[in-house]
Every structure is written in C-alpha cells, then in structure tokens.
Amino acid sequence: MPVKTSRNTSTSRKPSSSKRQIRTYSERWDLSHLAKEPVPRFETLLAEIEAKVAQFEAARTQLSPTMATSIFHPLLTLSEDIAAASSRISAYAYLWFSENTKDLAARSFKGKVEERLTALQNRLVFFDLWWQSVDEDNARRLMAGTGTFRYHLETIRRFQPHTLSEPEEKIVNIKNITGRSAVHSLYDVVTNAFTFSLTVNGKRKTMTREELTAYLRHAQGRLREAAYRELYRVYADQHDLLGEIYKTLVNDWKAENLQLRHFTTPIATRNLGNDIPDAAVTSLLKVCQKNADIFQHYFRIKARLCKIKPMSRYHIYAPHRTEQKSYRYQDAIKMVLEAYRGFSPQLADLAERVVHERHIDARTRPGKIGGAYCYSVVPSMTPYVLLNFTGEARDIATMAHELGHAVHGMLAQHHSMFTFHSTLPLAETASVFGERILSDALMNQERDKKVRQGLLLNQLDDIYATVLRQAYFVQFENQAHEMIAQGATVKDLAKTYLTEVRQQFGKGIKVPDEFQWEWLTIPHIFASPFYCYAYSFGNLLVLALYRMYQKEGAAFVPKYLELLSTGGSESPETILAKVGVDMASEDFWQSGFDTIREMVLQLEQTL
C-alpha cells in the first residue's frame, strides 16, 4: 500500500553545491530497483516466498506458550523476510498499474500478484491466531528482547477481541481479493478513464482530471466555475455506477467489521487499526466542527482580497494575483530541497536521494492514477513517490508533502518491516511539516507585501483543505454508513453530503447544487473508510509542533528527527506524550485552531 519508507544517515551521497545547481532530475521513475524483469520471473519470485512460507509452517508444531525464546525469535525474523519479499513484488505491481491504469498487462499482473500473495498469506494466519491466545505472562516473556518487533506483537494481540477462527480469516482474505479489492479497482479503472472537456481561450480542450483540476485554481473565475461544473457533470453522469460501488464497499465494511468482528461502530475499526482511542477521534471531529466559523471568516476575507463577489464554493481556491505563474519541474525540486536543507541538512540529503535514485514519477499522463502518494516498500529501500505535476504552485507543496512521507520512513530504517512506518494519524506528521518548512522558507525570502499576502493565502487554503475539509468527509462517512445500513439511495447520500457542505461554509458562501456529487470524486472514501481524519489529526499536530520549532529554533530539530525516527515502533499515544501532547484533550485540538485563527487575523490586518 502507498505509505512511507527507509533511512540513511550517511553524508557520502551529498553532492557539492555546484553539482546540485546543475543537476537535471528525471521525471520518470525506475522500477528496476524493485525487480529485474518481474513478469517473466514472477513464478521464481513466488517460489522463493513459498519456500519461506513452508519453512514457517513447519514450525507450527513447536508453537506453545511455554516455548523457548530461542525458537520464537527466529520465527519473527522469518516472518519479516516473507513480508519484505511480498512487499517488493506487491509494490512493483501497484506502481506499474499506477503508471497507466488502462494497461491491460499491468492490471492483469496486479490481480495475479494479489491473488497469489493472498493464498500464501492465508497459510500464515495460524501464527497471529495462536499469538492472540497466549496468556499474558508468557506473552511478556516471549516479547522480552524482541526489540523493534515488540509493538508489532502488541498490535496483533490488540485485535484479539475482533479476530475470527482460522478458516473464517482465510475466507475473508480470499473474499477481499475478489470482493472489496476488485470493487475498488473497478472504481479506479472507471474514474481514471474519465475525460473532461473545457473551453479555454475559445478552444475546446479534452483533458484528464489532473489537467482539469489546475483550472479549479485558475485566475479567471469563469474558468474555475466551468471546471467545477465539468468535473461534477462527468461524475454525476456516472452516479448510479459509482454510487453502487460505494454502497457495495460500505456494506462489505459493515458485514465484516460489525457483523463478523463485532466492532461497535464502523469508524471503530479504523481507530483500532490506528491505535487511537475512540474518544480522541470524537474530540478531534467535535472541535473541527465547532471551529468551522474560522474558515468561513477566512473565505470572506479572501473574497475581499481577490475581489470576488459574491463568494461561492467555486472560488475558495482562487489564486492571489501574485501567483499566476507556472513552475518548471526542475525548479520545483530545487525549491523543495533548499527549504528542507534550511531546516535540516539530513532531511534534505534523504529527500534528494529519492529524486537522485529516480524514484519519482512526476508528470501527468492519460490513464495514470490521479493524485499523489509515497510508497514504502521495505526499510532498506528508498521510497517511491508518484506525483501529477502540472506546474502549479500547489504542485510544489504536494512534492514537499510526499517527500516528507519519504524521509519519515527513511529515518526509521532501523526498525522492522512491521514497525518502520508509523500508524496512520502520525503518518501525516512529516509530510505536513514538510509543507510548513517550504511555506516558511518562501515567506522568509519574500519582502514584497503582496507576495507575502499571497503566500499566507496559500497556507490557509492548504490548512482548510487538510483540516476542516477532511474532518467533514469523515462526518459524512459516519452518516453514510448508517444511512446505507438503513437502505438509503445514492441520491439520499448526495442530499446529505450537500447539507454537510453547506453547514461547513455557512450562510455567507454559496454552495451550488452540483457539489452534492463531490463525495464521488474522493478516492479515500472508497478505498479507505474514515482514513481522512488522519489529515486533520496530522495537520493540527504539525501546527503545534511548528509553533515549538518557532520558539525553540535549532534546539527543536533533533527532537523532531527523533520523533520521526520512532516510526511505528510505539503507540501514537506514547510517541506524542514525549512531546507533551494529550490527543484526547479538546484543549489540545483547540490550540491548533487558535493558531489558525491567529493566521486569519494576520491576513485581515493586511487589508
């Protein structure tokens, strides 16, 4: 899955400043680092994994609560070897598919890999079930000395109340490949094949979603409006199909997690996976809703600055008049690396490794999967990053974001395959912090009042998009899962979504009817239910951490790097307690919004 990846503290890769200035970075990634000729060698690679699985299975008769640690610990290493080998081939399949979702060979290979690896994974289910059954005293004894495996072992036991029998778990795994995973792949294939038409300078253009999205932030208001109308026209035309896909995924989530695994609520499944208490998520969402007025006030200020009247949902991402320029990819990389270097040379070196080793696929192309992600494969490998770079200022922030994910995992290379990437809410820490580093660097370099005003608008636009907007997605999901369980139609869901959006923006900002279909365009809602609160969590956390950095200066940097290097080897609660954060406290989340309010007031003073 697209997550985060590895670490190297060596400075030997650091180029001289002169070389850094003249280097040209590739815009396509090199997948040969994952596998040399993976399709012809597929059976060989699978045979190697299967041999290790057979070795692991042979140890089943030795499993006992009283077994010696000298037998137990090597099994952990073997399971890690299996996971790493599986991850490499899974990564290749997904990255190849991402390059062009229309490529029939890539789609076939991805499906074949998923099917074969699931069959092998099913043969290992017995270990987790056995480990959950071990008594507490023996579990503590066996975990002693496991080091970076410990939190992984604790996580397995955390799921004990919701685990099924071995035959049932195997059936669920098989079902997910031909069911949930296949249905979600259908959503990807259908939506990534969409084309859009827009009249620009008198010429009708056909474009991908990524190309159309650039016009949502265009300087001309009529083009922004036309782009939104076209986006939702295409999705609305397919609302029956996409809505049924969503309802199928929600019903599958309910059947497995509520009916079989006995979670109390749909979101509780995600919370346990994130190792975040339900109460902390409830506090987060409650505080987000309570502070919607901050952004309503902000968008009224933005309307005055950008001379937009009346203000509507079409125009919330309108650019400031100082930012109507396009950026070269090469320049964007240099801007991000220089910003990282200003904060920490170590972070910059790690980020540069990603581009130097050709692990970025940058440009938008027909059929290429939309959005952006960072994919961690194994701790020892530099992550892969997918972008859809079109030259917008926003694309530079996206690059800083995804490279933040990359350096997060790279700093945690010393942990196991199971614990080097953090749980989901903390997974956004380094990525959002990377965006803040970039924004701050650009702000400090700029003396022109209007340009600084534009940079502040950019920051607040981004904070809105990654805090309040994401929280409202999750609020909609909470309602949608309940409504679908009661037999709601796709149009019922659309009506509810529109009500939520209008409540979010208040009376001062008009939300046109076509925004009722916005939820159909959000991949996370389909792929990973309740994923999006991690963005709200991560962004508000970063606002607090960045305030610490502004107060402490260079003394903060080692503490921050240490936080990232923890990866996912401890619970989020434990990791955050080290920096004085109580995630269940509404006051903590409110402090993040207090910072946002200060930024809005700072902007208001420039009027």
State how beta strands 373-375 and 384-389 pair: antiparallel
Residue 162 tokens read as 């919701």
* pLDDT mean over 232-255: 97
**Residue with the two structure tokens 């890690």:** 80
**Amino acid code (one letter) for 357:** E
* pLDDT mean over 180-195: 93
* pLDDT mean over 556-562: 93
**Residue with the two structure tokens 């970075």:** 25
3-class DSSP state for residue 423?
A: coil
* pLDDT mean over 370-393: 93
Q: Mind spelling out the 3-state secondary structure of 411-460?
A: HCCCCCCCCCCCCHHHHCHHHHHHHHHHHHHHHHHCCCHHHHHHHHHHHH
Looking at residue 324, what is its pLDDT?
58
Looking at residue 582, what is its pLDDT?
87
User: How far apart are alpha carbons 379 and 427 in whole angstroms?
Assistant: 15
Domains defined for the chain, CATH in brackets: 34-187 (1.20.140.70), 194-290+470-527 (no CATH)
Close Cβ partners of 61 (under 8 Å, ≥ 6 residues apart) = none
User: How far apart are alpha carbons 599 and 475 in whole angstroms?
Assistant: 26
User: How far apart are alpha carbons 285 and 312 in whole angstroms?
Assistant: 24
For residue 310, whether the previous peptide bond is cis, meaning omega lies within 30 degrees of 0, is yes
Close Cβ partners of 488 (under 8 Å, ≥ 6 residues apart) = 480, 496
Confidence class for position 22, pLDDT limits 50, 70, 90: very low
Confidence class for position 544, pLDDT limits 50, 70, 90: confident
The residue ranges of DSSP E strands in 459-539, in sequence order, are none
Q: What is the DSSP letter of 510?
A: B
pLDDT tens digits along 321-369: 765 568 899 999 999 999 999 999 999 999 999 999 999 999 999 899 9
Q: What is the pTM of this model?
A: 0.81
Confidence class for position 10, pLDDT limits 50, 70, 90: very low
**Residue with the two structure tokens 């346990």:** 272
Looking at residue 323, what is its pLDDT?
55
CA 141 to chain centre: 36
On the question of pLDDT at 237 being above 80, the answer is yes
Instruction: Compute φ and ψ for 583, nearest 5 degrees.
Output: -70, -15
Which residues share a beta bridge with 504?
A: none
3-class DSSP state for residue 360?
A: strand
* pLDDT mean over 36-59: 89
Residue 41 tokens read as 């060698």
* Mean per-residue pLDDT of the chain: 91
Task: Classify the C-alpha dihedral 585-588-589-590 as positive or negative.
Answer: positive
Looking at residue 460, what is its pLDDT?
94
Looking at residue 20, what is its pLDDT?
43
Do 102 and 367 meet the contact criterion of CB atoms below 8 Å apart? yes
Q: Mind spelling out the 3-state secondary structure of 142-165?
A: HHCCCHHHHHHHHHHHHCHHHCCC
CA 447 to chain centre: 34
Rounded to a whole number, what is the largest CA-CA distance in the chain? 77
User: How far apart are alpha carbons 421 and 394 in whole angstroms?
Assistant: 26
User: How far apart are alpha carbons 363 and 391 in whole angstroms?
Assistant: 10
User: How far apart are alpha carbons 411 and 433 in whole angstroms?
Assistant: 15
On the question of pLDDT at 282 being above 60, the answer is yes
Nearest to 380 by CA among 415, 352, 345: 415
Q: What is the DSSP letter of 509?
A: S
Angle of helix 239-253 versus helix 469-485 axis, rounded to 10: 80
User: How far apart are alpha carbons 250 and 489 in whole angstroms?
Assistant: 13
User: How far apart are alpha carbons 111 and 160 in whole angstroms?
Assistant: 30
Q: Is 483 exposed, middle or buried (0-12, 13-18, 19+ CB in 10 A)?
A: middle
Looking at residue 149, what is its pLDDT?
96
Looking at residue 405, what is its pLDDT?
96
On the question of pLDDT at 4 being above 70, the answer is no
Do 379 and 415 meet the contact criterion of CB atoms below 8 Å apart? yes
Nearest to 200 by CA among 210, 191, 212: 212
On the question of pLDDT at 5 being above 90, the answer is no
Residue 460 tokens read as 């607040």
User: How far apart are alpha carbons 604 and 453 in whole angstroms?
Assistant: 10
pLDDT tens digits along 296-316: 999 999 999 999 999 999 999
Angle of helix 239-253 versus helix 221-237 axis, rounded to 10: 70
pLDDT tens digits along 55-112: 999 999 999 999 999 999 999 999 999 999 999 999 999 999 999 999 999 999 999 9
**Residue with the two structure tokens 């805090």:** 467
Confidence class for position 40, pLDDT limits 50, 70, 90: low
User: How far apart are alpha carbons 298 and 281 in whole angstroms?
Assistant: 25
On the question of pLDDT at 446 being above 80, the answer is no
Looking at residue 322, what is its pLDDT?
63
Q: Mind spelling out the 3-state secondary structure of 284-352?
A: HHHHHHHCHHHHHHHHHHHHHHCCCCCCEHHHCCCCCHHHCCCCCHHHHHHHHHHHHHHHCHHHHHHHH
Angle of helix 292-305 versus helix 586-604 axis, rounded to 10: 10
* pLDDT mean over 540-562: 90
The percent of residues in the chain predicted with pLDDT above 70, rounded, is 95
Nearest to 437 by CA among 549, 552, 534: 549
Instruction: Compute φ and ψ for 164, nearest 5 degrees.
Output: -95, -175
